[in-house]
Structure 1
Amino acid sequence: MKPIAPGTVIFHRHRGYGVITAVNLMTGWISARFGNEMRTLDLNLSTDEVQHADGEAILFRRTPPDPMPHARLMAMVRELHKAGYQRLYLYSWPKPSGLHWRWHLFTGPRNWMERPWREGWYGSGAEYNCNPVMGWGDAPGETTEELASTLAQFDPTGLAQALGRDEDHAAWFDMVCEALLPDYTFSLGWDKQDGRIPEALPVIPVRRGVPEYSGPALPWPPGWTKLLGSAHLASTTATVLPKPAKSSKDKPDTVK
């Protein structure tokens, strides 16, 4: 399915060609401007027979786009591991509803509690649902190879810090990707109100209509069992994204 994002050109049989100005991937509602009209028109992709500019139907109800990018991020990290960037890590804590989730890429030492934050290397559902990009200059719908290339161009200094070997984590991550992609992702966050921390890695589908995961139980990352007693790691609410950085990406990392 082609990407649906602000700037996508569409066709409506009663309005003609238009451009999407706003989108919500959770509900399927979009705002679009047609011709020289000043006001935007609200449309629902499930019922209003909106098409792409080339005539391809947008079957939002049958094949909705992924409301979270975690599977795409996993595939990109996996490829970068194969290229020698094994010190690149994905801290992922989505929610089953798809409404509240976070992701964070970091490099260097594998320290889950004190992860370095770099501009463009983290995101949230509130942003992605309205504009399905990662935030490092990528375009909607980029392939795994394109995402990796765009990240390297956006922050070569940051990606260079991922060069190196972490074979234990790379092997674990490859095993998890093999079991979960392309329909599922994992979560490293856990709310106390959900009960005890499970023995196996929590698995969550990345889109609606995907059956519950029935594959083998997956282990937590290497060294994670030593941290399971930490409230900081056990609770998704304890991890908060930093405020947007005012400085350029070339300045030193700030550690949370």
Structure 2
Amino acid sequence: MLTLGVDLAAADKRTAMAAVEWLPDRAIVRDLVLDVSDAHIVEASERAEKVGLDCPLGWPEPFVAAVQAHRIGHVSVADADGAQWRRRLAYRLTDEVVRNETGIIPLSVAADRIAHAAFRVAGLLAMLAAAGHDVDRCGGGRVVEVYPAAALCRWGLAYRGYKGRGQQDVRHADLVTALCRAAPWLELGAFDRLCRRSHDAFDSVIAALNARAVAVGRAAEPDDEQRTVARIEGWIALPTGPLSSLIVGPEE
């Protein structure tokens, strides 16, 4: 099995992609690249069983409805103070599930800079669909939405403070070491240095591991009620087992 992980930025620059091959007793990072184009992602997806995209795959339904209503000048604020109404505009159902399960508050695709990457992913999903891939936003097809910080949290690893410069670079390198200790079956090989140098590269590896969790049934799926919304808004696939469960999957 081959899984692909993509840490998607708004442009090719800062977009990283990792390809991980899964063998019965180990996982090998076969490729890890930076500054990745949409065309490169689509091409690489042809060879992967599961593709983990670190980017919201949709927008909150109330937000979309409010924008449509505002376009014709008839927005109705349901709550007296507006606070709860604005929260429903800002966060998707899956964001609230992640918040409840991990305590991590995902970035708002409706009200934060991550929306720029979401604009890109909308076009990328269209390209993947045109190439014949199932892009079910619930994660049932080739593509699944992942959130590296939440995955790291679920796997008992540090998930805050490793992105950036200065002292954070040290924390990032320490996190790579911690991952290798927690998953001794993971072989970074020639890409070890790149993982330690670039948190974008590291996140793409985590995205590929998260994609594996989905592929072997070790990630949370939406229930029937949640699925109706998740098909539109997207669904973050939180891992449900330890890192070791990723290597205990169906025979390759």
Q: Same fold (TM over 0.5)?
A: no
TM-score of the two chains, using structure 1 as the length reference: 0.25
Greater Rg over alpha carbons, structure: 1
Q: Greater RCO between the two (CA within 8 Å, min separation 6)?
A: 2
TM-score normalized with structure 2 length: 0.26
Bigger proportion of residues as helix: 2
Structure whose residues are more often strand by fraction = 1
